[in-house]
Structure 1
Amino acid sequence: MAIRLKRPKYVHVYTDNRGKTRAYLRRPGQPQVALPGPIHSPDFMQAYHKAMATPQEPKQAGVASVKSGTMNSLIVAYYASSAFTSLAASTQSTYRNQLEIFREHYGDLSVKGFKAKHADTILGTLAKTSTAQAHKLRKRLLMLMALAVKWDYRDDNPMLLASKINHKEKGYRTWTEEDIASYRKHWKEGTSQRLALEILLHTGLRRSDACKLGRQHRQGNRHVVKIKKSGETITVSIPVHATLEKHLKTVSGNLTYVVSKFGKGYTEESFSNLVCEAAEEAGLPPDSSPHGLRKACCRRLAESGCSTVQIMAITGQSLSVVERYIREYNKEKAAEAGMKKVKDKG
Structure 2
Amino acid sequence: MKWRYRPEKGAWEPIFRIRWTENDVRKERNIALDWQGDAERLDRLYWECRSGRSKAQQRPAKTTWRSCIEAWRSDYSVQQQLAASTKASYRRDMDRIMEKNGDKNMTRTTRPALKAALAKMADQPRKASKYAQTVSILWNYATAELDWPLGPNPAKNLAAYKPVREYQPWPAWMVKALPTAPDNVQIAAHLILGTGQRPNAAIRMKHSQFHGDTMTVRDEKGGALFETHCPPRLRNFIATLPQLGEYLIAKNLRQPVGYSAVEKAFRAWRVTLGENAKPFTLHGLRKLAIVELAEAGCSDAEIQAVTNQSAEMVAYYRKGANRVKLSKAAQDRRS
TM-score with structure 1 length normalisation?
0.63
Which of 140, 143, 150 aligns to 1:146? It is 140
Greater Cα radius of gyration, structure 1 or 2: 2
C-alpha distance in 2 between matches for 1:263 and 1:153: 43
Tell me the distance in 1 between the aligned counterparts of 2:196 and 2:253: 27
Any unmatched runs of 5+ in structure 1? 1-65, 338-346
- 1:76 deviates by 2.1
Pairwise CA distance, 1:234: 3.3
Partner of 1:73: 67
SS in 1 for 2:105: coil
Kept in 2, the 8 Å contact 1:71–1:103? The answer is: yes
Please give the alpha-carbon distance, in whole angstroms, between the structure 2 residues aligned to 1:303 and 1:117: 48
What does residue 322 of structure 1 align with?
314
Match of 1:137 among 131, 137, 146: 131
* Aligned counterparts of 1:236 and 1:312: Cα–Cα separation in 2: 12
User: What code does the residue aligned with 1:250 have?
Assistant: T
1:114–1:253 distance in 2 versus 1, CA, 3 Å? closer
CA distance in 1, matches of 2:88, 2:279: 22
Secondary structure at the aligned position of 1:159 is classed as: coil
The structural deviation recorded for 1:85 is 4.9
Q: Does 1:118 align with 2:113?
A: yes
1:247 partnered with 2:237? yes
Partner AA of 1:304 in structure 2: A
Partners of 2:256 and 2:124 in 1: CA distance: 34
CA deviation vs aligned residue, 1:297-322 (integer Å, no higher than 9, x gap) = 11111111112221111122222332
Partner of 1:258: 249
Contact 1:111/1:153 (<8 A) preserved: no
Aligned partners of 2:125 and 2:185: how far apart in 1? 33
Cα distance in 1, alignment partners of residues 74 and 149 from structure 2: 19
Residue among 193, 202, 208 paired with 1:201:
193
SS in 1 for 2:120: helix
Residue range with higher mean Cα deviation, 80-89 or 217-226: 80-89
In structure 2, relative to structure 1, the CA distance for the partners of 1:103 and 1:295 (3 Å cut) is same
What secondary structure, in the 3-state scheme, does the structure 1 residue paired with 2:297 have? coil
Give TM-score, length-normalised by structure 2.
0.65
Partner SS for 2:233: helix
Matched, 1:268 2:259: yes
Deviating more after overlay: 320-329 vs 297-306: 320-329
Q: Give deviations 1:311-345, integer Å, cap 9, x for gaps.
A: 1111222223323333333xx639x98xxxxxxxx
Shift of 1:281: 3.8
Within 5 Å, give how 1:334-345 maps onto structure 2: none
In the alignment, residue 95 of structure 1 is paired with which amino acid?
Y
SS in 2 for 1:112: helix
The AA in structure 2 aligned to 1:178 is W
1:244 is displaced (CA, Å) by: 2.0
Which residue number corresponds to residue 3 of structure 1?
Answer: none
* Native 8 Å contact 2:143 2:149 kept in 1: yes
User: 1:305 maps to what in 2?
Assistant: 297
Hey, what does 2:101 align to over in structure 1?
Answer: 106
- Is 1:210 aligned to 2:202, yes or no? yes
Work out the CA distance in 1 between the residues paired with 2:225 and 2:121.
36
Task: Compute the displacement of 1:180 (Å).
Answer: 1.0
Matches within 5 A, 1:3-22: none
| Residues 206 and 247, structure 2, Cα contact 8 Å, conserved in 1 | yes
- Show the counterpart of 2:54: none
3-state secondary structure, aligned to 1:237 = strand
Separation in 1 of the partners of 2:150 and 2:252?
57
Name the SS for the 1:223 alignment partner: strand
Pairing partner for 1:237 from 209, 213, 228: 228
2:84 is aligned, of 71, 76, 89, to: 89
Percent identity between the two aligned chains: 21
Aligned partners of 2:142 and 2:148 also within 8 Å: yes
1:78, distance to aligned residue in structure 2 (A): 1.9
Match of 1:294 in 2: 286
- Retained in 2: the 8 A contact 1:183–1:279? no
Unaligned runs of 5+ in 2: 1-59, 328-335
Say how many residue pairs are matched: 262
Instruction: Tell me the secondary structure at the aligned position of residue 248 of structure 1.
Output: helix
1:183 aligned partner, one-letter code: L
Sort the Cα spacing of 1:122 and 1:270 in 2 relative to 1 into closer, same or farther, 3 A: closer
Residue identity in the other structure for 1:115? T
Task: Please identify, of 97-106 and 273-282, the stretch whose mean Cα deviation from structure 2 is larger.
Answer: 273-282
CA 1:242–1:129: 2 relative to 1, 3 Å: closer
SS in 2 for 1:158: coil
Deviates more, 1:291-300 or 1:84-93: 84-93
Distance, in Å, in 1 between the alignment partners of 2:255 and 2:157 is 47
Alpha-carbon shift at residue 179 of structure 1 (Å): 1.7
